[in-house]
Chains A and B, each alone.
Chain A
Amino acid sequence: MLIKLTGGKVYDPANGVDGVVRDVYVENGRIVSPSPGAKIDREYGLHGSVVMAGGIDPHSHIGGGKVTIGRMLMPEDHLGNEVARTALTRSGCGHAVPSTMTTGYRYAEMGYTAAFEPAMLPANARQAHMEMADVSIIDKGAFVMLGSDDFFLRQLAAKSDFSAVKDYIAWTMHAAQAIAVKVVNPGGISAFKFNQRKLDLDEKHVHYGVTPRDIILNLARGLKELGVVHPIHIHGCNLGVPGGVETTLETIRGSSGLPIHLTHIQFHSYDTEGDMKFSSGAARVAEAINSHKNVSIDIGQVMFGQTCTASGDSMRQFVNTRSADPKKWVVMDIECDAGCGVVPFKYRDKSFVNALQWAIGLELFLMVNDPWRIFLTTDHPNGGPFTCYPHLIRLLMDKTFRKQVMGTINQDALKYSALATLDREYSLYEIAIMTRAGPAKSLGLKDRGHLGVGACADITVYADNPDREAMFEKPELVFKNGELIVRDGKIVKVVNGATHVARPSYDKGIEKSLKQYFDDFHTVRMENFRLSDDEIINYGQGEIIVQPTGARTA
């Protein structure tokens, strides 16, 4: 069936198209260039509406044990936020930590067609994929966590041959069905189990004798040499610590030109000026990002209201339990592999700290120049639920609105931030980069995030409403693989999304030492630790899309 989207204003940054009125053709799930005179089976007159590729969220906690711990921990989050079953959709619930199907519906209704779980523990990968399989409609994928797992740390401690380190990284990506690798508080999750309460960039882990810097550089170099497109996804040391900005700057400077992605950088941009010893370090961070082209970031914007933070960073989350609201929380040590901390938070606009966190996130958005290296996230649900994105987009695109909101928050906080001096307004083109083209390029999704011929026909059409929040909240039309799934912000068809993975090559010989290691120490056999394709294809009723990797070097 040939579909024609007629007369929309197209924003397709990957192909340099900035608000040009043009027709888009779709056939068999792909964007096509039909032969002249081809019969159009279905036409949608768009009359100047805005056309973009489907949104891609590169960092959103949508599946895995800690998310379900959050769901179990917070029944009060669901009360009043129940969603009724319809003829098409399942019932569900939730605000900060929505149930799986509801998560998928909400993303699709907002014009997003893919979201990536950024913190999949190898030991919990099977459950993460089971949950993601139940996230309806959208495509998904996951970043597997390394850097506090015993096998990797003992490799570094033993100064193992680097090709074996790379083999292990690649093996883990295959075993966990991952598209990228994340490191969370490098070495710190493990150090916490040895009762270390902080681990600075150059501080040694008491047992392995390695430092976070060693861990980051090995993973960064390893992924680069394996040809994995997305660079090491770094949740740095000292999350949420006033003064943590120094660690962030040192991490950037110490990256030696290797590609790195610094995630939810807002939480890592706190300085120590002023009476409260808490101030914005955003300007210094933004300057460093602007001058280091090897670095990309996402923000992890804080939004006001109730949420539930869920992180692999057990060390820092244990400290954050002091601020738990409501006062209940879970911290876990997991399988000599990783950990997690689930802590409910209420970000208050009248709180000095929360207001400043909010301002720091916006400062970073407005001071980082290159939208191709900055992605729009709230680190769902840690800074706030992903359903806040339309509001966040309006804050970025509409300085009058932004100043109005600034007038309602804790005014002392603004004294320690440069936000009031920033007049930048994001354009639709830049928003399309930050929410589509940029994440697709960074993750190596070769046929997503753009509208060129051959791209997957994940397309979102918005009314060009000057109220950008209203515009991005409720798209007019959303297509997934060329099928109309949302009309006027409501689901009209439910489809199954695919799982994106990357499979760098490795020497199968690594399994010999891994097999022995699992048999000696673990409670799961190596053979059962690995996820088979069948598990995702059959049980998830989905497909696996293997995204390309570059050639392995050395």
Chain B
Amino acid sequence: MGVMTESTGTSATDSGHYDNVACPFCGILCDDLAISRTAGGLKVTKNGCDKAKAGFERAVASTGPQIAGKPATLSEAVAAAAKLVKSAELPIFGGLGTDVEGMRAVMSIADNAGGVVDHALSEGQYRNFRVLQSGGWVMTTLTEARNRADLFVIVGSDIHQLHPRFFERIVCNERSMFSDNPPKRTVVFLGEGLDQSAAKSTRIGDVITIPAKGERIGEIMVALRAMAKGGAISGDTIGGMPRAQIEDLLARCQKASYGVMVWAPPSLSFPNADLTVQATSEFIKDINQTSRFAGLSLGGNEGAVSAGAVCAWQSGYPLRVSFASGKPHYDTERFAMASLLANKQSDLLVWVASYTPGLSPPDCDVPMVVLGTPGLALSRTPAVYIPVGTPGVDHAGLIVRCDNVVSLPLRNLGRSTLPRAADVLAQIEAAL
């Protein structure tokens, strides 16, 4: 298996300049960054948000592998990890902050070792997957929304915090494919405490705030759906908001040529938030009987979309799969990482976190094998720790965008010579 190399050189001491760089530090994967490399490290010179700067410009210490906190060679660490994986009754392969190649390697070793796979952020992803598996939806993608939408409804999600360039690239763009003088857009913030600071541009007309509590947005969606069908809704408020405001929202949705409801599943952090996604999706389906409307789900940071996609195409199921029986066994409750750990059903956690130092393993008392980016925050010493490179910074790779349609090539910017998680996992599997 070869490793893609950058024609401009991969040695960390060379200087280099890179255009059209894709950024893996959030799910919308902006790919218009310019990055320079000097002896002092990487510098984002164009189009970087704070997340991108933090990710690309972070220097990684030249740490080596450790066994129980003591320095070890890579081959010693691989052998120790293999021994743990081999002797585990039910290892969890979790975190899964990696790229497509890394996830392929995770699937291979989990299949071989009879483990469970689950991503660190799958709780958020399952707010969507449950809806997909029970009712489905009408969805759109970033370029489609950027050019076509005349109404954006931000649904209970602090988009700007999760995706700092979403508004700049998808909502505030001056130009559209379909008109030299595109109409102004309406942006509705449905939800309390949402950062609206980025919704500013000559392209934006009305900005409307409906500061409903997150857990009451589902009620509003159900009411919108009922009202659209001519149903009677009693009361002066709907979901805690003045009735007139909800009626106005409905009118705007029905009048839009192409409305888009935007949510980021990780933001919907209240109980049973999948029901809010479902109510939103069912409302969108209904509007499409007469006019066009779509959902746009964001999120997908830390390689979550790639993990879900690769797991689905290789096993049939999007994460929370156990290979303990030799066949894929799917159980969204039982094989959720948090539940396995809480119920003490697992005896080893293999944690992969190659993007940000914040993707820490959960508190648990099972031994851990950690494949992490240097600086990964750890509350206790893992049995085995192997530093790995970040896809798109230390090595090349491929990654899937939040809309589950577009994927992008990640470049080797030569920050370090840390190994790929994919290769380390393959070595561990080979040693089983």
**Residues of A near any B CB (own CB < 8 A):** 63, 65, 67-69, 71-73, 75, 77-79, 82-85, 90-94, 97-101, 121, 123-124, 126-127, 130-131, 134, 150, 154, 192-195, 207, 318, 324, 327-337, 342, 520-525, 527-528, 532, 534-535, 537-539, 541
Contact = CB atoms under 8 A, between A and B. Distances in A.
B336 to A, nearest CB: 15
A334 B404 CA distance: 10
Contact of B407 (A127, A150, A522): A127
Contacts of A121: 405
B313 A126 contact: no
A207 B177 CA distance: 11
Interface centre among A75, A77, A78 (most CB of B within 10 A): A75
B403 to A, nearest CB: 8
A115 to B, nearest CB: 15
A335 B409 contact: no
A523 B169 contact: yes
Contact of B175 (A328, A332, A520): A520
Contact of A522 (B112, B143, B323): B143
B3 A538 contact: yes
A144 to B, nearest CB: 15
A333 B145 CA distance: 9
Given A91-B326, A330-B132, A525-B31, A336 B315 contact: no
A69 to B, nearest CB: 7
Contact of B330 (A78, A524, A537, A539): A78
Interface centre among A93, A134, A331, A333 (most CB of B within 10 A): A333
B404 A75 contact: no
Contacts of A525: 20, 31-32
A332 B316 contact: no
A99 B141 contact: no
B342 interface: no
28 contacts: A68-B312, A78-B330, A92-B328, A93-B316, A93-B328, A94-B316, A99-B328, A121-B405, A126-B407, A130-B100, A193-B292, A195-B257, A195-B291, A318-B288, A328-B134, A330-B136, A331-B138, A333-B148, A333-B294, A335-B142, A521-B147, A522-B143, A523-B142, A523-B143, A528-B20, A532-B409, A534-B4, A537-B2
B316 A78 contact: yes
Contacts of A63: 313
A101 B314 contact: yes
Given A72-B133, A82-B329, A134-B104, A124 B406 contact: yes
Contact of B398 (A126, A193, A324, A331): A126
A522 B406 CA distance: 12
B93 interface: no
Interface centre among B135, B312, B326 (most CB of A within 10 A): B312
Given A72-B133, A78-B328, A524-B406, A538 B2 contact: yes
Pairs of residues from A and B, 3 with the lowest C-beta to C-beta distance, nearest first:
A82-B327, A78-B316, A538-B2
A65 B405 contact: yes
A521 B177 contact: yes
Given A333-B139, A333-B148, A524-B143, 13 more contacts: A63-B313, A68-B309, A90-B314, A93-B317, A99-B316, A124-B405, A126-B398, A134-B314, A332-B141, A522-B143, A523-B30, A523-B142, A534-B2
A308 to B, nearest CB: 11
Nearest to B397: A539
B370 to A, nearest CB: 25
B312 A72 contact: yes
A68 B405 CA distance: 10
A384 to B, nearest CB: 18
A131 B313 CA distance: 7
Contacts of B134: 328
A375 B3 CA distance: 39
B355 interface: no
Nearest to B99: A539
B146 interface: yes
Nearest to A94: B316
Interface string B274-295: 0000000000000010011010
Given A91-B323, A534-B4, A535-B398, A71 B313 contact: yes
Given A522-B143, A523-B143, A524-B31, A150 B133 contact: no
B267 interface: no
Interface string B55-97: 0000000000000000000000000000000000000000000
A92 B139 contact: no
Contacts of A342: 136
A91 B117 CA distance: 14
B176 A521 contact: yes
B24 to A, nearest CB: 13
B316 A150 contact: no
Interface in B371-414: 398, 400, 404-409
A342 B135 CA distance: 12
A98 B317 CA distance: 11
B137 A91 contact: no
Contact of A75 (B177, B317, B408): B317
